[in-house]
Amino acid sequence: MSQEKVVQVLNDLAADVVMLEPGDLAGLGQLLNGLDELEKPEVCLGLDYLHPLAEKLRDAVVGIIYDEFAESEKSILLLSSLITEMQDALRNGGTSSVAPELAPDLPETAFGPENDETTVVEAVLCATPVDEIGTDMSAVESTAALAVESQEEDREENPEEDLAVDEELFAGVDFSQDEDLYQGFIAESNEHLDTIEENILSLEQDPENLEILNSIFRPFHTIKGVSGFMNLKQMNVIAHHLENLLDDARNKKFYLDGAATDLILDGVDFLKQMLLQLNHAICGGQPEPMPVQSFLNRIDTLHQVLLGVEPAQAAAAVFSESYAEDEVDDLQPPPKIGEILVREGAISPADLEDALTEQKTSAGIHPEQGPRKIGKILVELKKTDIKTVARAIRQQQQPQPKESSGGGSAIKVDTEKLDNLVDMVGELVIVQAMLKQDPDISALTTRKVAENMAQLSRITSSLQKVAMSLRMVPIKQTFGKMVRLVRDLAKKTEKEIELVMSGEETEIDRNMVDLIYDPMVHMIRNSADHGIEKPEERRAAGKNQVGTITLKAFHGGGNVIIEIVDDGRGLNVEKIRKKALERGMINEHDQPSDQELFNMILAPGFSTADKITDVSGRGVGMDVVKKAIEKLRGVVEVDSTPGQGSVVTIKVPLTLAIIDGMVVIVGRERYIIPTLNVVESLRPLPEQYHTVQGQGELIRVRDRLLPLVRLHQVFKCEAQTTEPWQALVVVVEHESEQFCLLVDKLVGKQEIVIKSLGERLKDLPGIAGGAIMGDGRVGLILDVAGLVRR
C-alpha cells in the first residue's frame, strides 16, 4: 500500500515541478509539503533507499527558495531529474543504487557560488535520454566528462550560438502555417518592448532597484522564450544575450550604467526593427538583412567590460552591510526577511541578532562568497524551519512592481467584438425607445408595465454608458512613450531636460491614442530643440539649468485637452513677424496680435530655426500637427512668453465615434451636417437670391454673397420645395470657405454615432458616412469638404 502512496506522491511532485516557474515560491512550498508527505514513516515504510534522494531533493528545493542557484531554470531541471530518479528507483525496487551517486552533492557544491556540478548534471540529462540513466553508467560518465571539458572551455556557451546568426532573417520559418500566431507574437512583443522602455528609464535613476530590474528582465525573458519557440533564432539570440546581461545585473555582479542603458534601449529598437521585418516577411516580403552578429558582439563586449570592472569590493561590502543591518535606506527595499519573521513571531529579536552576527562573521571569513542569506542562517541555527522562511520570502516578494497598472485585472478583447457590443447596445437603446413610444404600450395603464419600462430604460442607459467607456483608455500609454523621446532628445541636443507629466489617467478613445501620438512627438521635439536652451544659456538667464517640459492632460468641455509646456526661451515674436512678412502671410500695415503671430507657426513650411538640425527645424512639423489634429476634429493653439517658455494646447474630442450633427430633411431623405461645419441657418427673402451669369446661384447673407448648393440637385432626389424663400438654407463652412445648402427642413441637433458605409460605398463625394437614427433607419452624414469640391 505504502508503495502506491509513494508513487502517487512522486507523480504529484513531478507534475508540480513541470508547472514550476522560476520565482514561484508557492509552487516550491507545495513541493516541500509533498516531500514532508513522502518522509512520513508510515508512507515510506521499507523504502529506505528513497531517503537520500528525498534529502537531496529537499536541499535543492531549499536552495532554490534561497535563490542560491545562478540559473533558476536549470535548477528546476535538476529537481525534475531528481524526481525522475526517485521514480526509477521505486520502479526497480531500490536496486538503482546508481542514482544517488549521480545526483550532485548538493550541500557542498550547489550552495557555493559556483554550481558547475548542477549544470553538468543538466547537460548529462540533456544528452542522455532519461530512461538510460542508471543503466548505462559508462555512457553517462563519458558524456559528463565531455560536458565538464566543454564547460571549462567556455562557461557561457549557448547552444543557440552555433547557428550562423547572420544568415538570412527568419530563414526556414514557415509563416503560412500560423500567421495569427506570428501576428500575435509581434503585437505582444511590441508591448513588452514598450514596457522595457518605460522601466529602463526609471532604472537609470535608481540602478539598484531590483523590482525595476526584474520588470525589465521579465519581458526579455518572455520574448526570448516565445521567439525560440517560434523558431525566430536571431531574435531569440539577441533577447537571450540581453537577458544574460540583465541577469548578471540582477545578481549584483555589476550595476547598469548609462552605456548599458543605452545598449538595452538600442536592443529594444533592434528587436522592434526585427519585428517590423517579421511583419514584412509574414506579408510575403523579403526581410532586409540586419547586423545581428555585430549587435551581439556589442552586447558581449559591454557585458565583458561590465564584468571586468567589478562593482568594487567596497560597493558590494556596503550593500551586504545594509542588507545585514536591516537598514531602511531611501530606496525603500522590501521588508527584510528577519523583520518579517520577527513580526510573525516565528523568531525572537534575539534570534535575529544572533543570526545577523553570524552573517557578519561568515562574511568576514569568506568575503568572496558574498553575504549569506539571513533565512538560511536562521534555519542552520535551528531558530525556525524552512517553510516559515519560504513563507516570509513569499511575503517579501508580494508587493508586485508598480507597473502592474493598478486598477484591478484586465483582459484583452478584440476591438471588433467591442465594436459589435457597442453596436448592439445602440440597437437596444433604439428598440427600447421605440417600445416606450409605442402607442399600444403607452395606452396600458398598469403600474407594473410602467415600472418595468422605467427599469428597462434605466438599465439600457447605464449599459450604453458602460459600452461607450469600454473604448476609453488612459492616455498614460502615450505619455509613457514620451519619456524615452525626451531622454533621447536631451542627449542629442546636449541639453538637460526633465519631463513632468500630469493627468496620465485622463481617458481617451482607444483609436485616438495612436492618432495623437505623432502630433505630440512633433510638439515635444520642437520644445526640446527650439524651446529649451543649452544649460549654459539657461544659467546665464538665471534659470535652472535643467529645462522642464510638462505634459498635462485633462478633460474640459467634452474635450480632452493636452498641454505641452516648456520653460525655454519662448517664441520670438519679431522673428515670426519678419518671416510672415517674407512669406507674404501679412503685409506691412497689418498689426496682428502676438497670439495671431504665434499661431502662424502652424502654417505649412514655416520655420524660424536658424539652422536645420536633425531633430527639427525643417518647417514641416507644425502644419503636420495642425492637419493631424484637425483630422481628429480638434484644434491646436500656441502661446508663449518670451524668456519664459511656450505652451502648445491640443484640444481633441473625447471620441472619434460620436459627432454633433444637425439633422436636415431634403425630400424624403434625411441628412446630417456636422455641427462643426454649420455657421447659421436662415430662410432667405426673394430679394436675397441672385443669379450670376456663369457663376450659378448666390444668396446674400448680410454683406456677403455666398454660392447656393441645392442638395436635392446634388443628390438627385425630389425636394418638397425648390424656391429658396420657401425652404431653408444652412450656411456651412469648410476651411474658411462658406456656402449655402438648400434644404427643406431642419429637424434639430443631436449627437450621433458615426458608422462607416463599408468599402463598397466609401469615398462617395459629399458623403462622410452613415448614422443610425432614433427610428432605427440610417441617415447619411454630409461631407462638407466633398460638397465644396463638386
The 8 Å CB, 24+ separation contacts for 476-481 are 476/504, 476/505, 477/194, 477/513, 478/513, 478/516, 478/517, 478/520, 479/504, 479/551, 479/553, 480/194, 480/197, 480/198, 480/504, 481/194, 481/197, 481/198, 481/517
Interface mask toward another protein for 771-790; x: CB under 8 A: -x---xxxxx----------
- Residue 765 sits in the site that holds another protein (CB under 8 A): yes
Q: What are phi and psi of 463, to 5 degrees?
A: -65, -40
With 0-12 / 13-18 / 19 or more C-beta atoms within 10 angstroms meaning exposed / middle / buried, residue 248 is middle
How far apart are CB 419 and another protein at their closest, in Å?
Answer: 9
Smaller CB separation from another protein, 228 or 426: 426
CB count, 10 Å around CB of 386? 20
Interface with another protein in residues 399-428 (CB under 8 A): 420, 422-424, 426-427
Smaller CB separation from another protein, 626 or 670: 670
Task: State how beta strands 497-502 and 547-556 pair.
Answer: parallel
Cα separations (Å) of 285 from 171, 175, 289, 712? 13, 11, 12, 49
Smaller CB separation from another protein, 186 or 714: 714
How far apart are CB 657 and another protein at their closest, in Å?
Answer: 12
What is the rounded CA–CA span in Å between residue 646 and residue 570? Answer: 5
Residue type, 102: L
What is the rounded CA–CA span in Å between residue 478 and residue 198? Answer: 11
Cβ contacts of 644 within 8 Å, gap of 6 or more = 567, 570
Smaller CB separation from another protein, 249 or 666: 666
Smaller CB separation from another protein, 401 or 774: 774
Smaller CB separation from another protein, 689 or 715: 715
Smaller CB separation from another protein, 162 or 759: 759
Interface with another protein in residues 703-732 (CB under 8 A): 714-717
Q: b vs e for 689-724, b when ≥16 Cβ sit within 10 Å of the residue's Cβ? A: beeeeeeebbbebeeeebebbbbbebbeeebeeeeb
CB count, 10 Å around CB of 57? 27
How far apart are CB 280 and another protein at their closest, in Å?
Answer: 18
For another protein (CB under 8 A), the number of binding residues is 30
What is the rounded CA–CA span in Å between residue 95 and residue 704? Answer: 107
Smaller CB separation from another protein, 29 or 766: 766
How far apart are CB 717 and another protein at their closest, in Å?
Answer: 7
Interface mask toward another protein for 739-758; x: CB under 8 A: ----------------xxxx
Interface with another protein in residues 650-679 (CB under 8 A): 669-670
Residue type, 17: V
- Contact pick of 412, 448, 589, 760 for another protein (by CB under 8 A): 760
Smaller CB separation from another protein, 424 or 444: 424
> CB under 8 A: which stretch of 6-14, 282-290, 339-347, 770-778 binds another protein?
770-778
Smallest CA-to-CA distance from 741 within 669, 694, 667, 678 is with 678
How far apart are CB 751 and another protein at their closest, in Å?
Answer: 16
How far apart are CB 434 and another protein at their closest, in Å?
Answer: 13
Residue 482, CB-side half-sphere exposure with 13 Å CA sphere = 29
Residue 502, C-alpha cell as written in the block: 500630469
Residue 512, C-alpha cell as written in the block: 485616438
In contact, 31 and 61? CB cutoff 8 Å: yes
How far apart are CB 272 and another protein at their closest, in Å?
Answer: 25
- Contact pick of 6, 767, 768, 784 for another protein (by CB under 8 A): 767
What is the rounded CA–CA span in Å between residue 726 and residue 685? Answer: 9
How far apart are CB 655 and another protein at their closest, in Å?
Answer: 17
Smaller CB separation from another protein, 149 or 759: 759
- Region for 695 from its dihedrals, namely left if φ exceeds 0, alpha if ψ lies in -120 to 50, beta otherwise: alpha
Smaller CB separation from another protein, 186 or 521: 186
How far apart are CB 275 and another protein at their closest, in Å?
Answer: 21
> CB under 8 A: which stretch of 213-221, 483-491, 577-585, 764-772 binds another protein?
764-772
- Residue 766 sits in the site that holds another protein (CB under 8 A): yes
| Residue in this structure with the C-alpha cell 518579517, named with its chain if needed | 340
In contact, 565 and 552? CB cutoff 8 Å: yes
Which 8-state DSSP code applies to residue 334?
Answer: P
Smaller CB separation from another protein, 273 or 756: 756
How far apart are CB 396 and another protein at their closest, in Å?
Answer: 50
How far apart are CB 672 and another protein at their closest, in Å?
Answer: 11
What is the rounded CA–CA span in Å between residue 342 and residue 335? Answer: 11
Smaller CB separation from another protein, 210 or 754: 754
The alpha carbon dihedral of 47, 50, 55, 61 has a sign of negative
Smallest CA-to-CA distance from 485 within 757, 198, 95, 701 is with 198
DSSP-based three-state secondary structure for 36: helix
Smaller CB separation from another protein, 533 or 783: 783
What is the rounded CA–CA span in Å between residue 393 and residue 391? Answer: 5
How far apart are CB 743 and another protein at their closest, in Å?
Answer: 14
How far apart are CB 430 and another protein at their closest, in Å?
Answer: 9
- Residue 461 sits in the site that holds another protein (CB under 8 A): no
How far apart are CB 772 and another protein at their closest, in Å?
Answer: 5
How far apart are CB 777 and another protein at their closest, in Å?
Answer: 6
How far apart are CB 420 and another protein at their closest, in Å?
Answer: 8
> CB under 8 A: which stretch of 96-104, 176-184, 235-243, 763-771 binds another protein?
763-771
Smaller CB separation from another protein, 311 or 426: 426
How far apart are CB 630 and another protein at their closest, in Å?
Answer: 25
Smaller CB separation from another protein, 370 or 667: 667
Smaller CB separation from another protein, 669 or 697: 669
What is the rounded CA–CA span in Å between residue 196 and residue 267? Answer: 10
In contact, 744 and 667? CB cutoff 8 Å: yes
Smaller CB separation from another protein, 24 or 669: 669
Smallest CA-to-CA distance from 494 within 520, 532, 550, 541 is with 532
> CB under 8 A: which stretch of 272-280, 338-346, 513-521, 765-773 binds another protein?
765-773
- Residue 632 sits in the site that holds another protein (CB under 8 A): no
- Residue 173 sits in the site that holds another protein (CB under 8 A): no
Which 8-state DSSP code applies to residue 530?
Answer: I
Residue 147, C-alpha cell as written in the block: 560536458
Interface mask toward another protein for 213-252; x: CB under 8 A: ----------------------------------------
How far apart are CB 306 and another protein at their closest, in Å?
Answer: 48
What is the rounded CA–CA span in Å between residue 601 and residue 619? Answer: 9
Residues of this chain that interact with another protein (CB under 8 A) are 420, 422-424, 426-427, 669-670, 714-717, 755-761, 764-767, 770, 772, 776-780
